[in-house]
Amino acid sequence: MSAGLQSNIHIGRVRAHCKSHPEEPLYNGGILKNDVGEVNFGYHTKETVSNSCSFLLENLTPKTRYTFSCWVKLKGKSLSSFVKATLSTVDSKLECIGNVVARSDCWSFLKGGFVLGSPSNKSILSFQSAQNNLTEIMIKSASLQPFTVEQWAIHQQDSIQLKRKRMATIHVSDRKGNRIKGASILVQQHSKDFPFGSAIANTILGNSVYQKWYIKRFNATVFENELKWYSTEPEQGKHNYTLADQLLKFVRSNRIVARGHNIFWENPIYNPKWVLNLTNQELKSAVESRIQSLMSRYKGEFVHWDVDNERLHFDFYEQRLGSKASLSFFQTAQKEDPLATLFLNDYNVVETCDDVNSSVDSYILRLRELMQGGAILEGIGLEGHFTRPNNPFMRAVLDKLATLNLPIWLTELDISKKMDQQTQAIYLEEVLREGFSHPSISGIMLWTPLHPFGCYQMCLTDNNFKNLPTGDVVDKLLHEWQTSQTGGVTNEHGLYNFNGFLGKYKMSVSFGNKSKITTFCLDQGQETKHINIQLY
């Protein structure tokens, strides 16, 4: 593996637009090409199943991270369809390793990948359309590139170095500008720049042990249910913000940033029951009242609002109020709280690739429709309710979403309770490393509020706040992703250098009987940060 490939695992051309001609394959085709640049393991072909074509792959190895990409076009007139790539081995089948919304008038870019649990001498990579009446799927510029576990980890570390850390140089001099050699430097990180947290619920109120455990770890939060419409207005016209106010007081007192979740939820079963019985005109008035009541009360309090939740899967409001209902939500929310970042939020975009409703292309299309309609949409929410994560696919989705140049958050991250605790921990670490290292991810929120019955899917502790394996993973990574106390003495040029994670720092400098304590920030930047200290 060349250094060039190691540093460009996720950077390959990622297109969200259709193109008139396919581009060249990533990695020159990877292992799908031989030395003379011709297809080695297979080619696309129309088979007896009219909506499928395939590649034959040989000698795939377990644990290897395989990234796959190709350009897809449908044969026919005025066609559009969800197309997924499927991998079949002798003893197993991966139902989806990548997907794309393909069309007949242009070429669409599919990017995904997979990891096998056992070796496979012969495998079939096939393409299937959601529409059975398609006559042919055309594939061009296919690429399959393997990366070892070590190579994948190296790329993550390189990305963290570029995005989450920065070099700093401390200059120490006296009041006349003379350099001071041998000055003692002690640097401690005071707070972290990257928002990392977990959802909380009313169960944290009055529970000092829970609060202490939480505050020690997290700098961001979101309320599990306490801001949802069914909680704040269970009966029409009778608003109750008591629990939300109490949680917000806890947030304020501990300098934690909070996301607002959510204003509207498109799934009708999670709306107040009285809402479902309203006429369209009554619903319109209720919606306007909901936004005004919620956002006027909490204006400036929440850094984000999930304005429309799970719109890819449900459309309750647009069915009742028309096709521009979501657009209206965003426009009104922006007027009510112009400083908050407004998000769409949905599931199964990064978790799995065989959900027709939530392909990355479908999400991008929906986001673009809102922005082109005039919505001030500033963030992309990915819930992240994983069963078994597919890291190459996750990275491919993030790469594609990153073309929109919007902040992306993992907003409700957990691992299914179908997995045992040790497996949950293994998968959680994989997802957290992938998320933290990806340059387009701006924050991570776990979905682990603790209740007497446990948690929604995954807990970090038991009811006595003793860490479970998942909690140990979180603690390990929090420690890894912060700058440990560092220090030394200035060199002959009066300089001390260190490489630190972004955030706020406290520094003490001493020389002889002179000393100084100061603070500084390491913010995002490619250049070395220079801090000048004068000892009087």
- Would you call 430 a catalytic residue per the annotation? no
CA dihedral 191, 194, 197, 199 (to 10 degrees): 130
Query: Contact, 107 vs 97, CB < 8 A?
Result: no
CA distances from 134 to 19, 75, 83, 100 (A): 20, 8, 11, 15
Residue among 22, 42, 132 at smallest CA distance from 83 = 132
Q: Which of 266, 412, 430, 434 is catalytic?
A: 412
Helix (H, G, I), strand (E, B) or coil at 290: helix
Amino acid of residue 518: T
Residue among 239, 266, 32 at smallest CA distance from 146 = 32
What is the side-by-side strand order in the sheet with 52-60?
52-60, 120-129, 80-88, 93-103
User: What string of DSSP letters covers 89-118?
Assistant: -SS-EEEEEEEEEEESSSBEEEEEEE--SS
- Please state the length of the chain: 536
Strand pairing partners for 258? Answer: 221
Query: Contact, 275 vs 239, CB < 8 A?
Result: no
CA dihedral 140, 364, 392, 446 (to 10 degrees): -170
Residue among 35, 121, 116 at smallest CA distance from 68 = 116
Residue among 120, 137, 161 at smallest CA distance from 73 = 137
Residue with tokens 């009510």: 336
Residue with tokens 């242009």: 106
Residue among 139, 81, 80, 103 at smallest CA distance from 19 = 103
- Would you call 412 a catalytic residue per the annotation? yes
Tokens of 199: 């959802």
**What is the rounded distance in angstroms from the CA atom of residue 518 to the CA atom of residue 510?**
12
Helix (H, G, I), strand (E, B) or coil at 414: strand
Q: What are phi and psi of 505, to 5 degrees?
A: -130, 150
Query: Contact, 401 vs 408, CB < 8 A?
Result: yes
How many CA atoms within 13 Å lie on the side-chain side of 376?
14
Q: Which of 226, 266, 310, 383 is catalytic?
A: 310
Active site residues: 310, 412
